[in-house]
Structure 1
Amino acid sequence: MENKRETKRDALRERLIKAAEGLIKERGLSGLKARDITTRAECALGALYTAVEDLSHLVVLVNSRTLSHLGQVLRSAVPKGATPEQTMHALAQAYVQFAVNHTNLWSAIFNHRLPEGDEAPEWHQAEYAVLIQEIIAPLSVLRPDLDPEQLRQRSQTLFASVHGVIQLSIQGLYVGAPPERLAEEVDALVEAMTRGIRLLENKEMIGPQA
């Protein structure tokens, strides 16, 4: 009996996640309402709270899927045998396309906030590592002098630089790149960053000039 109840609850949760995901994709996070979700999932409003803790935690589950999808996109973006520089460029361009093609879902993973005093589960916090984990390997080749913690922090900084350019462009702010130039500008940024990293490494290898 308990197994049947759990199976029904899991099926309901799946319908609710898909409904919320579809609505976020269409309207954005700010337009998400519990009644709209349950209507699309074809269940009673109160049923939502038997399958998930609340609406905010349902968004966590949607964001979890978005991060998983993004991870798959990034992992498949790098051609076999790519140099570290080529890898960086490929990752950045894949990230641009994901943000452009899935703007509302992409925005939700950064804009959603749980109620004050409520923290996201540790398993979900760990999922955000997908944003930088593909950067660490090529960066470790470009900067073999960095220890694991330094690599992680530097990868976060590199990601934040690319993310910021994309976010400003998508938000349409006057300092942002025009949409039609976004991919080109991100490519130029990555080129500058990777060239700078190589120059720094060579300078450190040569040592101070006499």
Structure 2
Amino acid sequence: MGRRSDHSRAELREMIITEGHRQMQEVGFARFSAREVAKRIGYSIGTLYNVFGNYDGMILAINGRTLDSWRGFLDSQLAKAGPDADRLKCAIDAYFEFAIAHRHAWAALYDFRLPEEVPLPEFYQDKITGIMDLVVREVALVLPPDRQDEAVPLARSLLATVHGHCAFTLNGTFALLGETDPLAAALQRVNEALAR
């Protein structure tokens, strides 16, 4: 403790997010410890809450880092896709790949909840919207012109389908059910929905 004047507020914010994200990746939300983050960066827990306003603000900032990484990974994987590539397959592959590689941090996006009466901060909602806009764009690319108005609701449903397949993969449910290729199953469900 005690290095209170060593870093600017912006530097402290970055240190906390970096260490918090590292810990979230390592142990997940259920075992996440703000005290451990404070200890590892050499500040008091009060400093963490002072920088972010409270525990929830800190977790949103850490999860925001995960959303940024996820969006960047999806963008990079889609950018690598050739002109004749199945872009939705590429996006679904990227979803699974990111979730598997960042299992705890990815799960923390869904494990953490603000109280119902507390709205998501605009910065966080913008990050979610950015990922959703990417999915809507890819879905719209495969829809005929007369179905473009379906892109947003269809993208939400398809994202839920892929998410469910991915979550069942990570928590072992698909293994219990005998599903040997959940990624292919997710892609098949998406293609079936689009064909309808």
Range into which the TM-score falls when normalised by the shorter chain:
0.7 to 0.9
Task: In structure 2, give the amino acid aligned to 1:24.
Answer: M
**Cα distance, 1:46 vs structure 2:** 1.7
How far has the Cα of 1:133 moved from its partner? Answer: 2.4
Change (3 A) 1:185 1:171: closer
- 2:169–2:182: 8 Å Cα contact kept in structure 1? no
* 1:50 and 2:47 are equivalent in the alignment: no
- Which stretch of the first structure deviates more once superposed, 20-29 or 74-83? 74-83
- The amino acid across from 1:110 in the alignment is Y
Residue of structure 2 in register with 1:194 after alignment:
191
Shift of 1:81: 0.6
Instruction: Tell me the TM-score normalised to structure 1 length.
Output: 0.79
What is the letter of the counterpart of residue 28 of structure 2? G
Q: Residues 97-136 of structure 1 correspond to what in structure 2 (within 5 A)?
A: 97-136=97-136
Distance 2:177 2:99 in 1: 14
Query: How many Å separate the matches in 2 of 1:34 and 1:116?
Result: 22
**SS at structure 1 position matched to 2:117:** coil
The alpha carbon displacement at 1:118 in A equals 2.2
Q: Give distance in 2, aligned partners of 1:137 and 1:157.
A: 14
Contact 1:168 1:176 in 2 (8 A): no
Q: Which moved more, 1:42-51 or 1:99-108?
A: 42-51
1:155-182 Cα distance to aligned partner (Å, 9 max, x none): 0100110110110121122676779x4x
CA 1:108–1:196 in 2, change beyond 3 Å: closer, same or farther?
A: closer
Residue 189 of structure 1, CA deviation = 3.0
**Aligned mates of 2:177, 2:162 — CA distance in 1:** 12
Larger-gyration structure (1/2): 1
**Matched residue, 2:16:** 16
Q: Residue 57 of structure 1: CA displacement? A: 1.0
- 3-state SS in 2 of match to 1:77: helix
Residue 185 of structure 1 corresponds to: 182
Match in the other structure for 1:204: none
Cα distance in 1 for residues equivalent to 2:160 and 2:174? 19
Q: Distance in 2 between matches of 1:157 and 1:196?
A: 9
Instruction: Classify 1:74/1:82 alpha carbon distance in 2 versus 1 (closer, same or farther; 3 Å).
Output: farther
Q: TM-score, length-normalised on structure 2?
A: 0.85
| Cα distance in 2, alignment partners of residues 49 and 62 from structure 1 | 13
Deviates more, 1:16-25 or 1:113-122: 113-122
Q: How far apart, in 2, do the equivalents of 1:49 and 1:107 lie?
A: 23
- TM-superposed CA distance for 1:119, in Å, is 2.2
Change in Cα spacing, 1:196 to 1:13, as seen in structure 2 (3 Å) is closer
> What is the CA-CA distance between 1:104 and the residue it aligns to?
0.5
CA separation in 1, counterparts of 2:84 and 2:170?
29
3-state secondary structure, aligned to 2:77: coil
Equivalents in 1 of 2:121, 2:104: separation in Å? 22
Tell me if the contact between 2:139 and 2:155 (Cα under 8 Å) persists in the aligned partners: yes
Show the counterpart of 2:147.
Answer: 146
Aligned residue pairs: how many? 188
Alignment of 1:156-167 (within 5 A): 156-167=156-167
Q: Tell me the distance in 1 between the aligned counterparts of 2:35 and 2:141.
A: 51
Q: In structure 1, what is the Cα distance between the partners aligned to 2:138 and 2:13? A: 38
